[in-house]
Amino acid sequence: MPINLREDVAFIILKKIKDSGSGMHKIGFTETDFTGRGLTESDFLGHLDYLNQKQYIKAEFSGNAYANQEDVPSAVNPKEFDLRVANTFGAEDGPLPHLIAFEKAELTEKGQKLLEKMEQNPPQDLDKGPSTQIATKDMPFLEKVMLKSGLNDIFDARDMTEMVFRVMRDLMTTEAADRVAEELHEPIEPTKDKSLQMEIVELWKDTNPIVGFLSRVRPPWQGPGIFKIDSDRFLFRVANEGGMPIDADREQVVKAVFSATKDELSQERIQEIAKWLPDKILQLWQEA
C-alpha cells in the first residue's frame, strides 16, 4: 500500500540527518521530532524508504525490504520483532509484510540541494499539528521533560531530573544551590500518585537524604584533580548513575531537564548557573 508522502515529514527527516552529523551515521529520531503530526512508525519508515529510493539520502536498513518472505521473523523468537515494523509498501509473496528497521543514513548531494530549497520556502504544514502539543511554559514540569527528552515514562523523567540536578549541584557552592532552590517550588506533576506529589525543589535538594547532606558539606567539584566534573564526566554520571533507559540520548535528556528548569527560574539564576557549567554542558544549557 503506497504511503501518502508529506513535505513536512520529509523536511524534518532531511534536516535531522543533516544536523546530526556527516557521513553515514546513526540518527536518534524520536517521537518528539514528529509531535502532533499523527505519524506512525510505518509512515516514518515509508518516508525514509522513499527518500532512499529517490537518492535524496543514502540509508541502511536491517533486514531486506525488497526480497522475499524469508525476511519475516520467526514467531518462535519474539525478540526478532524488537524495533521492527512492517514495510509500508507491503509484500505480495506471503501472509505478512516484510519487516525492516532503520539503521544509519547520510544526505546525498541531491538531498542537500532539496533541503536548501525547502529551508528557503518551508512546507506550510510545519506550522500545523505540533502547535498544540509542544512543550509550553504552562505544562507540568515532568511532562515537559518527557516530551523534550524522548523518555516514555514519567518516573524515568523524575529520576533523570534528580540525577541531572545532582551533578549540577556538585559543580556549585552550597550558597549558589540554595539560591536556585528558592525559585523551584512548583509541583513536578499534578497527580494523585503519592510518589509524584512533590515540588521541583525536592528533586533539586535530592530525595536521598544522605546525598542531599553530602552535597551541602563538600566543596564544588571544580579545578584540577580526579573529582573535577568536566563535560564528559557530567554526561557519564547522568547516564550511568541515574539508570538512564538504554535507548535514551543522554544529551537530549540533559537538555530537556535544562529547558524545563529554566522555565522556573529568573534570568539572574539562569545566568548564575551558567557560570558553573563546563563548556559542552554550558552549550546545552544555553540552547535549552
Q: How far apart are CA 249 and CA 20, in angstroms?
A: 12
Task: Give the cell for residue 226.
Answer: 580526579
Indicate if 42 and 118 belong to the same structural domain: yes
189 belongs to a structural domain: yes
What is the pLDDT of the chain when averaged over all its residues?
76
Confidence (pTM): 0.54
**Structural domain span for residue 260:** 141-287
2 belongs to a structural domain: no
The arithmetic mean of pLDDT across residues 48-54, rounded, is 84
Yes or no: say if 97 and 86 are a contact pair by the CB < 8 Å rule: yes
1 belongs to a structural domain: no
DSSP for residue 102? E
191 belongs to a structural domain: yes
User: Residue 16: is it exposed, middle or buried by C-beta count within 10 angstroms (0-12/13-18/19+)?
Assistant: middle
136 belongs to a structural domain: no
- Which residues on adjacent β-strands are paired with residue 99? 86
Indicate if 197 and 89 belong to the same structural domain: no
Indicate if 97 and 222 belong to the same structural domain: no
For residue 227, what pLDDT is reported?
Answer: 59
**Tell me: the pLDDT tens digits for 135-189?**
556 678 998 898 888 888 889 999 999 999 999 998 988 899 999 999 999 998 8
**Tell me: the pLDDT tens digits for 247-279?**
888 999 999 999 999 999 999 999 999 999 999
